[in-house]
Chain A
Amino acid sequence: MFKLRDLSINFLGLTLENPFILSASPSTDELEMVVRGLESGWAGVILKTTSVEENPVPLKYPMMSSFGNYYRRVIGLGNIDLISKHHIDEIEKRVKILKEKFPEKMIAASIMGSKKEDWQNLVFRLRKANVDLIECSFSCPQGSMGEAPGKMLAQSISATEKVTGWVKEAAENTPVLIKITPQVTDIVEVAKAVKKGGADGITASNTIPSLLGINIYTFEPYPSVFGVSSYSGLSGNAIKPITLRTIAEIKRSVDIVISGNGGAYSSRDAIEIMLVGASNVQFCTLPMVYGFRVIEELKSGLSHYLDEMNLKSPLEIVGKSLEKIKSNEELPLIEVKANIDKDKCIGCDLCFISCNDGGHMAIEIKENRIPEVNIEKCVGCALCMQVCPVDAISMKEKMDEKEVIFNRR
Chain B
Amino acid sequence: MSDLKGNNILEKMMHEAERCLFCFDAPCEKNCPINLPISNFIHMIRNKNFYGAYEKVRESHPMINIAGFICPEEILCQKECIRSKIDSPVKIRELHNFLTLNFVKNQNLSLSPYKYEDVAIVGGGPASLSCTFFLRTLGYKTHIFTEEDIGGIPFTEISNDRLQKEIVKKDIDFIKDNFIYELNIEKVKSIEGLKKDFKAIFIGIGLGDETKLEIPGIDKDGVFYARKILRDLKNGKEISLGNRIGVIGGGNVAFDVANSLKNRFKEKEVFIIYRRGLKDLKCYPEELERAKNLGVNFYFQSSPIEISGDKKVEGLKVSQVSLKESEREKRRSFELIDKSEFIIPLDNIVVAVGQEIEDGIFPEIEKEDGLIKIDENYMTNLEGVFAGGDCINGGQTVTKAASEGKIAAFKIDEFLRRSK
Q: Report which A residues bind B (CB closer than 8 A).
A: 69-70, 346-350, 352-353, 365, 369, 389-390
Contacts and interface: CB of A to CB of B under 8 A. Distances in A.
Interface in B25-57: 25, 27
12 contacts: A70-B14, A70-B15, A70-B18, A349-B24, A349-B25, A350-B22, A350-B23, A352-B24, A353-B24, A369-B25, A369-B27, A389-B86
Contacts of B14: 70
B82 A348 contact: yes
Most buried by A among B18, B24, B25, B86: B24
Contacts of B82: 346-348
Contacts of A349: 23-25
B21 interface: yes
Contacts of A347: 23, 27, 82, 85
B98 to A, nearest CB: 16
Nearest to B17: A70
Interface of B: 14-15, 18, 21-25, 27, 82, 85-86
Nearest to A353: B24
A402 to B, nearest CB: 34
B44 to A, nearest CB: 16
B18 A69 contact: yes
A20 B90 CA distance: 40
Nearest to A347: B82
A347 B82 CA distance: 7
Contacts of A348: 21, 23-24, 82
A122 to B, nearest CB: 46
Given A369-B27, A389-B86, A390-B86, A350 B18 contact: no
Nearest to B84: A346
Contacts of A70: 14-15, 18
A70 B142 CA distance: 47
Closest A-B pairs by Cβ, 3 of them = A349-B24, A346-B85, A353-B24
- Main DSSP-derived SS at the A contact region: loop
Contacts, number: 31
A260 B132 CA distance: 67
Contacts of A369: 25, 27
Contacts of A350: 21-24
Contacts of A389: 21, 86
A352 B18 CA distance: 20
Contacts of B86: 346, 389-390
A400 to B, nearest CB: 37
B23 to A, nearest CB: 4
A32 B50 CA distance: 46
A70 B90 CA distance: 15
A69 B18 CA distance: 9
A170 to B, nearest CB: 53
Contacts of B85: 346-347, 390
A348 B18 CA distance: 15
Contacts of A346: 82, 85-86
B51 to A, nearest CB: 13
Contacts of B18: 69-70
B57 to A, nearest CB: 22
A38 B14 CA distance: 38
A341 B38 CA distance: 27
B164 to A, nearest CB: 31
A349 B22 CA distance: 9
A375 B240 CA distance: 74
Contacts of A390: 85-86
A401 to B, nearest CB: 37
B92 to A, nearest CB: 15
A357 to B, nearest CB: 10
Nearest to A346: B85
Contacts of A69: 18
Nearest to B25: A349
Nearest to A371: B24
Contacts of A352: 24
B386 to A, nearest CB: 34
A390 B27 CA distance: 18
A350 B25 CA distance: 9
A220 to B, nearest CB: 17
B28 to A, nearest CB: 11
A347 B24 CA distance: 9
Nearest to B19: A70
A70 B12 CA distance: 10
B45 to A, nearest CB: 13
A346 B21 CA distance: 11
Contacts of A353: 24
A389 B19 CA distance: 11
Contacts of B24: 348-350, 352-353
